[in-house]
Amino acid sequence: MKRRTFLGGALALGAVGRADAFEVLARSARPPRKPEDALARGAPAASDLIAAAGLGGHVSAVVADARTGAVLEAVNPLRALPPASVLKAVTALYAIETLGPDHAFRTRLCATGPVEGGVLRGDLALLGGGDPSLDTDGLYAMAAAAKAAGVTAIEGELLVSPGPQPTLPRIDPAQPPHVGYNPAVSGLNLNFNRVHFGWERRDGDYRVTMDARTERFRPDVASARMAVADRSLPVYTYASDGAVDRWTVARAQLGGAGARWLPVRNPLVYAGDVMRTMLRSHGIAVGPARVVADAPAGRVVAEQDGAPLARVAAGMLRYSTNITAECLGLAATRARGGSTVTLAASGDAMAGWLGARAGVGRAAFDDHSGLNGTSRLSASDMVRVLCAPEAERVLRPILRDRVVQEGREPFMAVAKTGTLNFASGLAGYFDARSGRTLAFAVFAADPPRREALPVGERERPAGGQAWGLRARNLQHELMARWWDVHA
């Protein structure tokens, strides 16, 4: 500022009274400071966001300070709704705290007799350990280890035993029979208990394949068979004679070529089928596998360990694999002495643990994956889980990173999504604009609309995709509000 300008301004102020001077200052070009709650007052109300989403049914939403557990905002906090796959975050905490982050599921290959001149004078038994990530590559490695141990022929049989875990034919009996995310659960779970179905039109007819493929191998299987039927609907039918999964597919639905994963309902037979092929690929001839309930005693000739539990849980949360959640939950319940006869019994055990662990008393779980839409959890109780002592330390590193792009600017969160027909959830952690760490949960569901769906329409119901998109948009809009206002 020039000296002349400064002096002129000073003289002008001196010529007026104090009140007039303050009036001049009040009219200066510098804007007044905004009140500290300006962002909060300018953000849309949570109730307005929920109303604008037009979901019908119910919404339960809670956000809290992750360090203290103090609830900062809540809408219908006690409304218990289907958590869908958000339940997998609870299961991850349950399994890691029960079994330990370094726990590894072990699958074994045992010989019941001595090896003489390369011939096993007894049976070779494949014994399950509940590994949810066992694949064809793993069975190939075990067959190679058996050969390295000197086995070139087997005098007895190839036996298959599930170990202590009973075989459950499906996770949710209310799902369509052909969806690959609803397989059997057992002590032996090969390729997530799925079989790869492929088809190709050739010379006016179809060539179909059923195999246990991985990146390295594509062995055909005899334990699952497909026939093309001259019809338009239903797309698939399923039947079992106890040893073979028998499928048919409507010719009118196939088109030129394609592929999809189908669920395995006889997982022990499936694993034995592929194990036999892997042994034969190493020159070890053996007849068809036979399933036995009790694991025979014998000498271990090969074993395959799964990845550490923390890594398995991270993969489960990233890809939302239902069978992994069930295997982890069942193993944790068994380790605690609970019942694993059914998924609902094990789910009850997990709900009881949660009550003691986080003060949650209203949860009801019929499985560990959230696939069964009859499980119930409120947003308030989910936030209690996230804010429980040590929960953030366990869960935050294994939850999936997500970018939230609603609001003024994008920000990062770590969270687990959950999606069923007309049910959607999201829960996790993020740091607000101020740096404050928040724990949140948003559940939305329209149970009457969901329950009215016929089984044949549950894979892709009319209106389901649009409803799910509105629910996900609402979740992000609520998070954007919380990011702005909760400083």
pLDDT (tens digit per residue) in 171-192: 999 999 999 999 999 999 999 9
Whether 140 shows a pLDDT value over 90: the answer reads yes
- pTM of the shown model: 0.90
Judged against a pLDDT cut of 60, whether residue 395 lies above it is answered with yes
Instruction: Write down the mean pLDDT value for the chain.
Output: 91
**pLDDT confidence bin for 229, thresholds 50/70/90:** very high
Start-end of CATH 3.40.710.10 domains in the chain: 40-101+308-485
Q: Which fold, 40-101+308-485? A: Beta-lactamase (3.40.710)
Q: Greater confidence, 30 or 86?
A: 86
Kindly indicate the confidence band of residue 62, based on its pLDDT and cuts at 50, 70 and 90: very high
- Residue 458 pLDDT grade (very low, low, confident, very high; cuts 50, 70, 90): confident
Q: What type of residue sits at position 485? A: V
Query: Where in the chain do CATH 3.50.80.20 domains reside?
Result: 105-306
pLDDT over 50 (residue 286): yes
pLDDT at 13 over 70: no
The predicted pLDDT at position 453 comes to 86
pLDDT beyond 90 at 150: yes
Mean pLDDT on 473-485 = 94
Mean pLDDT, residues 451-468 taken together:
87
Q: Is the pLDDT reported for residue 43 higher than 60?
A: yes
Supply the pLDDT for residue 57: 84
Residue range 105-306, CATH number: 3.50.80.20
